[in-house]
Amino acid sequence: MISYQPAKNLSKSAEITYNNMRSYYEHYDVDWPQSKILEQIIDLDNWDILFDGQVIGALRLSFDRDTCHLRDLQVNKRFQNKGIGAMALAESTRLALNSGANKLSLKVFKISPAHHLYQRTGFKITSEDGRFYYMEQVIT
């Protein structure tokens, strides 16, 4: 069973992100050690994704005016391709709506297969650059 809780251990959360994202950082020659990730996530709305009580992922949000920014959605590689990412997106939408947001936005590496999930769940590409797709979804 999938559940969510406010993150209890941000170092472990940063480790999940580092492990999942390391190949993208290497591809783009970005120096983002785990300590830098931890520094960047401290002020976000951090959630643990749990499977049967075990932390298997991270969900990070920030808010401004009417927009919820999905800053990070990570699922441990052993649990990927099982619908957990789509469930976490639904939870992001619920949290966004509860905050009063009417739009969910994100950016994703172009080489990441996750952009397919985002498109399947209603996100539209609003712009792009050499590395990223910038995507949004109106939520109600």
Secondary structure of the chain: what % helix, strand, coil (to 5)? 35, 35, 25
For residue 137, the Cα-to-chain-centroid distance in whole angstroms is 14
The domain ranges of the chain are 2-138
At residue 18, the pLDDT reads 95
At residue 6, the pLDDT reads 98
- Which one, of 75, 104, 99, lies nearest residue 87 by Cα? 75
Kind plus residue range of the DSSP H or E element containing 57? strand 54-64
User: pLDDT tens digits for 46-100?
Assistant: 999 999 999 999 999 999 999 999 999 999 999 999 999 999 999 999 999 999 9
> Locate tokens 């999940």: which residue?
16
User: pLDDT tens digits for 19-49?
Assistant: 999 999 999 998 889 999 999 999 999 999 9
User: May I ask the CATH architecture of the domain 2-138?
Assistant: 3-Layer(aba) Sandwich (3.40)
Q: What's the rounded Cα separation, in Å, for the pair 128 and 105?
A: 13
Q: 71 with 88: CB under 8 angstroms?
A: no
pLDDT category of residue 140 using cuts at 50, 70 and 90: confident
